[in-house]
Each structure stands twice: as structure tokens, then as C-alpha cells.
Chains A and B, each alone.
Chain A
């Protein structure tokens, strides 16, 4: 079973920040939080990952709570092309452990 829980769907207005939450209350000390997204009929795309510090890259920001039991992916200025299913996953980095996907959050960007 997936180790994370996410809302089934969310709406966000174009140009606004999209904040996608994820709960991972059973995360282990050596597990990272990874975010992927899947645009319709494509393979999942890596977005960002982090261990305990907040992270930012050209796509998004990742905010991880101090107890590491939850995190939030932030798309700062959502566009219509950000409409996708977003998956939050926890796994150990630098190892070939299999990933079990949960149901993810279907994000709709509204014009």
C-alpha cells in the first residue's frame, strides 16, 4: 500500500499558487519525499524531492513540516499546462526500492 494520503482532487485559478498537501505520517528517518506529476497519456514527470529541509527548483517548492509527517508542493504561478495528477511518494534515495503509487491528486487549473 502507498505510504501517503492526498486529496482526490483540487482546483486552482490560473496564475495563482497551487498548494498540494500530502500526509506521510509513517515516514522513516531515511525516506525522502518525492513528487511526480502525470499529464494525460504521458509517463510521470519528476518534480522535486526533499528530506527535511524545504526545497525549491525551477518547477516548484517543497515544504516539509518539522516532524516530517506531512508536506506541501507549491506551484507558484499555476498555468493551464500544470493540469495533471500529482503523486506524493516516500522512498529511500539512491536505492532501487520499488515505488508504489497512491491515487494522487487530480489538479485542475481553471482559466
Chain B
């Protein structure tokens, strides 16, 4: 079945540094990927829609200069958390749909801790 892979699964970084998270569709092509963040015991919150070859669409309240999204190919989208702060610590999850299929498939998430 369709598989979405995220890397890294965990990352710890210092305040002020930037962190890049990769989301790959392993056996299918995805023109659209979605990025979510999740705080402890809360539901997933959509951050942005990543579109291959064009700019991402951000949800209201999400800073596009803070969370840079690049979707350079049909199998890879990246989320870069720039100048990270402790409040950016969260669980980040991506998802994608096989163009020929129906359900969205999710990566296993990236736990970011900013110290």
C-alpha cells in the first residue's frame, strides 16, 4: 500500500537554529501534501497545503516565513522551521494521497524539541 515516510523521527535543536523535516511518498506520486502539527493530548492542526511546483497555502495564523515549505518534486516535500524557539516544540506530521487512490496516508511524524 501507499507509504509516506518522514525524516527525522526525532530532532532536538537549540533556540535560533533551523530544522528541516522531510516527507516522502515512497511508492506513489503526490502533487499535494499536507503538514500538520500536534500538541500533547490535542488533535492534529493543519498548518499548510504543499503543492508541487508552486507556493504552499498556509492556514490562518501560521507564519509562512517561520515555517518554510518546499515541494520540489512529486515525491518530496520539506518543512523548515526557521529560527526555532521552545514554543515550536511539537509533533509534526505530513500526509499525501496517491493520485490514483482515495485515502490520505500519513507519515509517522517528527517530534521536534527546541531547547
Seen from chain A, the residues whose Cβ lies within 8 Å of a Cβ on chain B are: 32, 34, 36, 38, 41-46, 49, 85, 87, 93-94, 96, 98-104
Contact = CB atoms under 8 A, between A and B. Distances in A.
Interface in B59-115: 91, 93, 95, 97, 101-109, 111
B26 interface: no
Contacts of B103: 34, 46, 49
A55 to B, nearest CB: 12
Nearest to A32: B102
A18 B67 CA distance: 39
A49 B34 contact: no
B106 A49 contact: no
Interface of B: 4, 6, 31-32, 34, 36, 43-46, 49, 91, 93, 95, 97, 101-109, 111
B102 A93 contact: yes
A98 B93 contact: no
Given A41-B109, A43-B93, A96-B97, 10 more contacts: A41-B111, A42-B109, A43-B107, A46-B106, A49-B102, A93-B102, A98-B34, A98-B46, A99-B104, A101-B46
A99 B34 contact: yes
A41 B34 contact: no
Nearest to A42: B108
B43 A103 contact: yes
Nearest to A47: B103
Contact of A44 (B31, B46, B106, B111): B106
